[in-house]
Amino acid sequence: MDESVPAKEAGLRERASIVGRVGIVMLSCGTGAWRVRDAMNTVARVLGLTCSADIGLSSLQFTCFINDHSYSQVLALPNTGVNTDKLNSLEHFVKYFERDFGMATVKQIHTRISEIEKRPVQYNPVISGFAAALACSGFIFLLGGGIPEMICSFIGAGIGQFFRGSMGKQHLTTIASIAIAVAIACLAYMFSFKIFEANFQVLAQHEAGYIGAMLFVIPGFPFITSFLDISKLDMRSGLERLAYAIMITAVAALVGWLVALLFDFRPENFLPLGLSPIALMLLRIPASFCGVYGFSIMFNSSQKMAMTAGLIGAVANTLRLEMVDLTTVPPAAAAFIAALVAGLIASLVNRYNGYPRISLTVPSIVIMVPGLYIYRAVYNIGINQISVGALWLTKAALIIIFLPMGLFVARALMDREWRHFD
């Protein structure tokens, strides 16, 4: 192949390799199948190709057509993850592909994709651990926990995420890293709580906050993108992502349950905080911001992107909690309204600065995922209280379903391409 020839004039195989590489790098960022397919189609059209792709959680098969010829390829990832910073760079690359690379050579395009693919992670395990600690301490306050629960959750989640990040560098399998990280987080919470209980006369009822120490593993991206993919009839991707999210949740909940049995801890109701409705609302705003900001950092968002997501989450999540407390709106309906608000705001922000919607919406609603309900369901089923466990599981399922529905409606209202199929 003549390296001086523009990519538009290169052979089918060389052009198709660009399309496939854009797809697999975007898939590695954790985004849904619809966005991956849209990016591949955008690049393919510029290169004069027609592309058909079948996309899953960690693999894709695609075929590029031109005249009477076709080229097919199967690509796969060794593992899945989330990287919103890389996703933002890649979406900018695709959006301006025709303008910036319309006359570029195949080598030049691959060089630029390699630069995006090899972007270093912005935060080391220590910073990621602090982000998880901040997120989970804010999370536990929003669930009703007080200062003892927040401090112990901060310690437990921070240590757990630090070890999780360290294990990720060693390429440990997903289930093993999740199980070990959750076990370490719960043990750190238990020991720190025992120290507080012995030295500061903290009441035993504050033990319920240990749930907050494991919430950093909530698979928000696969949970949300699974339902969005299903809504766009990307069944393979949607069901694979849903199965992955359920697997992560089940492993975390079961490990947390086993550790709790060792210490005889129970997920009881939190002690009343004794705050007025106004004070509670005012405290929920920064707590929601901290929770969303922390999760955004864990997803490798830039500082500006994380702060933007935090502000969206502060508005949407506080609205949800106030609706549940002050009105007769059921929790699932409140979650739908809050996700709708988050989606609408994220669409407006996207038009202003181009941040990927999913990089803003998922962190802003991941703190709405009912991790407490899920854990209580697993705990009660584990001690043979099946009816109580089924009740908590039903409550959790309703909220989890309504969250992506809110994002879907917001996207349909604000994005014409999302409303229609082509």
Q: What whole-number distance in Å separates Cα of residue 91 and Cα of residue 325? A: 39
Q: What is the mean pLDDT of residues 406-418?
A: 87
- Banded model confidence at residue 418, pLDDT cuts 50, 70, 90: confident
Q: What is the pLDDT of residue 308?
A: 93
Asked if the model's pLDDT at residue 118 lies above 60, the reply is yes
Token output for 106: 């195949």
Strand partners of residue 55: 60
Q: What is the pLDDT of residue 272?
A: 79
- Alpha-carbon dihedral of residues 239, 242, 247, 253, nearest 10 degrees? -150
Closest CA to 294 of 134, 88, 403: 134
Helices (DSSP H) in 80-124: which residue ranges? 84-95, 97-101, 106-117
> To which residue do tokens 């405290």 refer?
283
Q: What is the pLDDT of residue 157?
A: 93
- Banded model confidence at residue 2, pLDDT cuts 50, 70, 90: low
Token output for 84: 């919103």
Higher per-residue confidence, 278 vs 350: 278
Q: What is the pLDDT of residue 281?
A: 93
- Banded model confidence at residue 311, pLDDT cuts 50, 70, 90: very high
Asked if the model's pLDDT at residue 62 lies above 90, the reply is yes
Q: What is the pLDDT of residue 278?
A: 93
Asked if the model's pLDDT at residue 1 lies above 60, the reply is no
Quote the percentage of the chain above a pLDDT of 70: 98
Q: What whole-number distance in Å separates Cα of residue 5 and Cα of residue 37? A: 27
Contact by Cβ (8 Å): 322, 287: no
Token output for 102: 């319309």
Q: What is the mean pLDDT of residues 372-400?
A: 90
Q: What is the pLDDT of residue 409?
A: 92
Asked if the model's pLDDT at residue 422 lies above 70, the reply is no
Between 144-153, 189-198, 264-273, the lowest mean confidence (pLDDT) is in 264-273
Strand partners of residue 407: none
Q: What whole-number distance in Å separates Cα of residue 311 and Cα of residue 360? A: 10
Closest CA to 30 of 362, 346, 291, 351: 362
Q: What is the pLDDT of residue 207?
A: 67
Token output for 408: 């879907």
Q: What whole-number distance in Å separates Cα of residue 13 and Cα of residue 376? A: 53
pLDDT single digits (tens) 313-355: 999 999 999 999 999 899 999 999 999 999 999 989 888 887 8
Characterise 264 by phi-psi region: left (phi > 0), alpha (psi -120 to 50), beta (else). left
Q: What is the pLDDT of residue 205?
A: 66
pLDDT single digits (tens) 178-227: 999 999 998 998 888 888 877 777 666 666 777 888 889 988 889 889 99
Q: What is the mean pLDDT of residues 103-119?
A: 91
Q: What is the mean pLDDT of residues 63-69?
A: 89
Q: What is the pLDDT of residue 243?
A: 94
- Give Cα 275 distance to the centre of its chain: 31
Q: What is the mean pLDDT of residues 302-312?
A: 92
Averaged pLDDT of the chain: 89
Q: What is the CA radius of gyration of the chain?
A: 23
Characterise 171 by phi-psi region: left (phi > 0), alpha (psi -120 to 50), beta (else). left
